[in-house]
């Protein structure tokens, strides 16, 4: 293996280590409805995104991205009894979607992620 290849491997490993260290101090998505790559039935869907720390529900964001890349910002239902959670809902037709979330933890750090899922017709 060449020196250049060793150096590239070292850089990737170092970047992964730094990324995992910095992520541990921020809000991490620990559960969601829908699940990543999961399936929902068409119609009105309640969605929940649970984190490992308290979230500023007023300054966080959830965006629904359709297969044609059009985006709709969804309203977050604030709930003081669920400080680690972002809840929203939408009327969904069959197709593929992605939830793009941005969570502001109370420590002031923002984390972002995507949850792709599929909506199927009701049986």
Please give the Cα distance from 50 to 57 (Å, whole number).
12
6 alpha carbon, distance to own chain's centre = 34
Confidence of residue 26 (pLDDT cuts 50, 70, 90): confident
Q: Among 9, 50, 97, 94, which residue's Cα sits nearest to residue 1?
A: 9
Percent of the chain with pLDDT over 70: 80
Specify the DSSP class assigned to residue 75.
P
Is the distance from CB of 60 to CB of 105 less than 8 angstroms? no
Q: 56-101 pLDDT, tens per residue? A: 999 999 999 999 999 999 999 998 999 999 999 999 999 999 999 9
Question: What span, in angstroms and rounded, lies between the C-alpha atoms of 36 and 33?
Answer: 8
Say whether pLDDT at 55 is over 80: yes
Q: Is this prediction's pTM over 0.95?
A: no
Q: How confident is residue 6, by pLDDT bands cut at 50, 70 and 90? A: low
């Amino acid at each position: 293996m060449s020196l250049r290849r060793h150096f590239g491997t070292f850089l990737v490993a170092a970047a992964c280590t730094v990324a995992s260290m910095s992520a541990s101090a921020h809000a991490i998505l620990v559960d969601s409805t829908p699940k990543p790559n999961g399936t929902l039935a068409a119609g009105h869907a309640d969605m929940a995104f649970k984190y490992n720390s308290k979230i500023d529900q007023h300054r966080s964001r959830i965006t629904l991205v359709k297969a044609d890349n059009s985006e709709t910002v969804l309203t977050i239902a604030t709930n003081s009894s669920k400080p680690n959670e972002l809840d929203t809902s939408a009327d969904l037709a069959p197709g593929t979607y992605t939830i793009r979330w941005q969570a502001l933890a109370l420590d002031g750090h923002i984390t972002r992620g995507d949850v792709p899922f599929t909506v199927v017709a009701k049986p």
